[in-house]
């Protein structure tokens, strides 16, 4: 079995979710198999500083260094934990001889199977359009709707009410539902999300369109690659 290398530390909850899903393993030849993995955790504060400064070269250098370290550690394929920083994926891939599995491929494959060509993305506030619209639209012809600045601000206000003031225990859930309803009204056939905490206490029946977890699809595709001879 191949060893999966995780470039993490970008967001601690995202890194933990990738590791959790990998640890669940997969049934192969009637046995549960857990892929081997190694993690290089980047300094989140450094990632955030470079992102806020729009320093793409600095981000590329940081992730290239992580990829090289993982290859030296024995990784056979790489994942960047979360879609947000895939705008530097091509730069990272050129630095190593092992494949980097881009999140867009598994997501687009799932959408095409279900006949979906327009989606909404309930994304973290730090995510920019290039991370999603670029690969999904230009490579696979999928139209991506993003939250507006006002909608992102509404989620931030809701988080303040729910977690700081503690005056409204459903504020974030209600804000997310409003955003998803707007996206569905604008033609989204499904809603993508990349962090489980981005959809607080929501079930499939709450959403006006099917919800698709991009992290699970990314991990499942990596496990299939790890099982290839």
Phi, psi of 72 (to 5 degrees): -60, -35
- List the structure tokens of 23: 């640890």
pLDDT of 131: 64
pLDDT of 39: 96
Same domain for 203 and 108: yes
pLDDT of 128: 53
pLDDT of 143: 93
pLDDT of 146: 86
Same domain for 208 and 174: yes
pLDDT of 219: 94
Same domain for 110 and 39: no
Same domain for 209 and 222: no
Same domain for 141 and 73: no
Q: What is the number of domains present in the chain? A: 2
Ramachandran bin of 51, using left for φ above 0, alpha for ψ from -120 to 50, beta for the remaining angles:
alpha
CA atoms within a 13 Å half-sphere pointing along the CA-CB vector of 80? 28
CB 207 within 8 A of CB 136: no
Same domain for 223 and 192: no
Domain that holds residue 13: 3-102+216-227
pLDDT of 58: 94
* Average pLDDT along the chain, 229 residues, taken 10 residues at a time: 93 85 80 88 91 90 97 97 85 96 94 95 60 79 90 82 75 86 95 67 75 90 91
Length of the chain counted residue by residue: 229
pLDDT of 30: 60
* CATH number, residue 182: 3.40.50.1860
CA 76 remoteness from chain centre: 21
């Amino acid at each position: 079995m191949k060893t999966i290398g995780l470039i993490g530390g970008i967001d601690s909850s995202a890194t933990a979710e990738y590791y959790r899903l990998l640890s669940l393993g997969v049934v192969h030849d009637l046995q549960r198999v857990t892929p081997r993995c190694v993690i290089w955790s980047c300094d989140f504060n450094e990632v955030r500083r470079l992102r806020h400064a729009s320093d793409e070269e600095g981000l590329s250098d940081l992730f290239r260094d992580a990829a090289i370290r993982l290859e030296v550690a024995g990784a056979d394929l790489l994942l960047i934990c979360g879609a947000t920083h895939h705008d530097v994926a091509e730069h990272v891939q050129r630095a190593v001889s092992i494949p980097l599995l881009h999140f867009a491929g598994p997501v687009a494959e799932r959408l095409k199977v279900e006949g979906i060509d327009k989606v909404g993305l309930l994304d973290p506030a730090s995510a920019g359009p290039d991370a999603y619209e670029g690969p999904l639209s230009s490579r696979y012809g999928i139209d991506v709707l993003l939250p507006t600045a006002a909608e992102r601000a509404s989620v931030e206000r809701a988080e303040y009410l729910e977690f700081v003031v503690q005056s409204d225990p459903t504020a974030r859930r209600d804000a997310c539902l409003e955003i998803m309803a707007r996206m569905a009204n604008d033609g989204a056939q499904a809603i993508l999300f990349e962090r489980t905490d981005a959809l607080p206490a929501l079930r499939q029946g709450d959403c006006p369109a099917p919800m698709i977890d991009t992290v699970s699809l990314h991990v499942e595709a990596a496990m299939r690659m790890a099982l290839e001879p």
